[in-house]
Structure formats: C-alpha cells, structure tokens
C-alpha cells in the first residue's frame, strides 16, 4: 500500500461522520465548523505548519449542535493517540502540533494548552489531549456533555491541573482569529453549570479549593 500523506484533510457533515476516524500513528485535529470556506482555509494553514504527519477533520455542524457536541462525536470515534480540538478560525505557528505532542510525550502530560494569544497556555481553549488520559474523564467523551457552548474547555483544564497533567510549550502556538471575540457574551447557562460543578468539586475530582475558584 502507498504511504499515507503527511497531511490529510477531510470534510464531512456531522450526520455523515464515519464510525471510525483518525489513524493510530498520528494526531487527529477535529475542527467543528459552520463556514466551510473559512474552515478549509484554516485547515490547510494549520496542516501545512503542523511539523509532523496529521489528519485534519472538518465537521460541518449544519444543525447547530454546538462545538462541544460535535467535538465529542468526533472524539468518541477517534483511534488517534492524540486528539486536538480547534475552531474554524484557527491560525497556527510553525511546528505548533509537533511541539504540542513533544510536550505531552516528554513529561507524561494529559492536556496541552496551546498558546492562543489570550491565556498563554493557562487554559486550553484550543487543546491537545492524550487519548489514554482523556478517555477516563467523561465515560468516553472529550468534554462534559452538559455544556452547550462554553466552559467545557475550562473544566477540562481544571481537571488536568488537579492531576498535574496540564502542559504548555512556547512553540505550540495556535491563535483564534476572531475579530469580534472580545464582544461575544458567554452563555449564562454554561457559566452557571460550571459554577455549580466547581462548588461540588467536579464530581469529587478536584479537591483543591483554589482550583475550584479559578475562571469564575
């Protein structure tokens, strides 16, 4: 059989997502999207700068199920050892993915928070997980499925911090190019859900009171 290409980009609608996605020898980058043209442009750019073989899977959310639901659907089907979640407006620095994988693999990391120009690696708004770590968090989902639009990445970050498994790398740069981001409101229901779950220690998984107060 011919060798797999260094970068493979596919787009599919959510209702046509195959039962198995990704490959066992490279990361899978999941990109939920509503604007296919913008997503294709971003997918080509981030694949070209990955610094390693990668599969990029764009998933058209035609029925507006939401980023979290679409990411979970892709994650449950993935056989890739590393899984990245990004948006359709992502813009990568050179070697962003190779640096992220290296940070996870050299220090037994579970979650890599990309340098996104806002959180500085303190919060994994765009993130890369080691699948063997993430599989145990939410019964096979990447994010807690009760969130709709926001805070699922925040909870995942706090879990990784509690376990000492959050990693960052200065060269793992992945920026969200959203010109209206600072004006966007956070979904109140998601904010309240996060606060309630934090008060309960995220089902007893986060014991550190300081971590439960973060990002509130």
pLDDT tens digits for range 155-177: 999 999 999 999 999 999 999 88
Asked if residue 1 belongs to a domain, the reply is no
Residue 131, strand partner residues: none
pLDDT at residue 71, rounded to an integer: 98
Asked if residue 114 belongs to a domain, the reply is yes
Asked if residue 42 belongs to a domain, the reply is yes
Say which CATH number the domain at 153 has.
Answer: 3.90.550.10
pLDDT at residue 184, rounded to an integer: 64
% of the chain exceeding 70 in pLDDT: 94
> What's the pLDDT tens digit per position in 28-85?
999 999 999 999 999 999 999 999 999 999 999 999 999 999 999 999 999 999 999 9
Mean pLDDT computed over every residue of the chain: 94
Asked if residue 124 belongs to a domain, the reply is yes
Q: What 3-state class would DSSP assign to 76?
A: helix
Residue 27 corresponds to which tokens in the numbers above? Answer: 């990361």
Instruction: Tell me which residue range forms the domain holding 48.
Output: 7-211
Asked if residue 48 belongs to a domain, the reply is yes
Angle at 136 between CA 161 and CA 98, to 5 degrees: 65
| Cα separation, 109 vs 104, whole angstroms | 4
| Cα separation, 149 vs 206, whole angstroms | 22
% of the chain exceeding 90 in pLDDT: 87
Count other Cβ atoms within 10 Å, centred on residue 95.
17
Residue 74 corresponds to which tokens in the numbers above? Answer: 């892709």
Asked if residue 207 belongs to a domain, the reply is yes
Q: Inform me whether the pLDDT recorded for 183 exceeds 70.
A: no
Q: Inform me whether the pLDDT recorded for 179 exceeds 80.
A: no
Asked if residue 32 belongs to a domain, the reply is yes
| Cα separation, 161 vs 109, whole angstroms | 10
Distances (CA, A) of 9 to 31, 48, 84, 183: 11, 11, 14, 31
Q: How many structural domains is the chain composed of? A: 1
| Cα separation, 131 vs 155, whole angstroms | 17
Q: Say what the pTM is.
A: 0.94
Asked if residue 2 belongs to a domain, the reply is no
């Amino acid at each position: 059989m011919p060798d797999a290409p260094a970068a493979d980009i596919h787009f599919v609608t959510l209702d046509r997502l195959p039962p198995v996605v990704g490959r066992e020898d490279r990361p899978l980058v999941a990109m939920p999207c509503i604007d296919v043209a913008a997503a294709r442009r971003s997918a080509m750019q981030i694949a070209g700068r990955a610094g390693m073989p990668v599969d990029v899977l764009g998933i058209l959310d035609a029925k507006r199920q939401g980023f979290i639901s679409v990411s979970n659907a892709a994650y449950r089907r993935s056989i890739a050892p590393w899984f990245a979640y990004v948006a359709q407006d992502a813009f990568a620095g050179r070697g962003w993915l190779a640096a992220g994988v290296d940070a996870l693999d050299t220090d037994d990391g579970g979650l890599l928070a990309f340098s996104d120009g806002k959180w500085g690696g303190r919060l994994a708004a765009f993130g890369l997980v080691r699948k063997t770590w993430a599989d145990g968090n939410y019964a096979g989902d990447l994010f807690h499925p009760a969130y709709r639009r926001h805070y699922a990445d925040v909870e995942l970050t706090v879990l990784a911090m509690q376990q000492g498994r959050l990693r960052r790398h200065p060269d793992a740069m992945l920026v969200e190019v959203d010109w209206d981001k600072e004006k966007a409101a956070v979904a109140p229901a998601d904010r309240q859900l996060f606060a309630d779950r934090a008060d309960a220690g995220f089902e007893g998984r986060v014991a550190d009171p300081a971590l439960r107060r973060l990002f509130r």
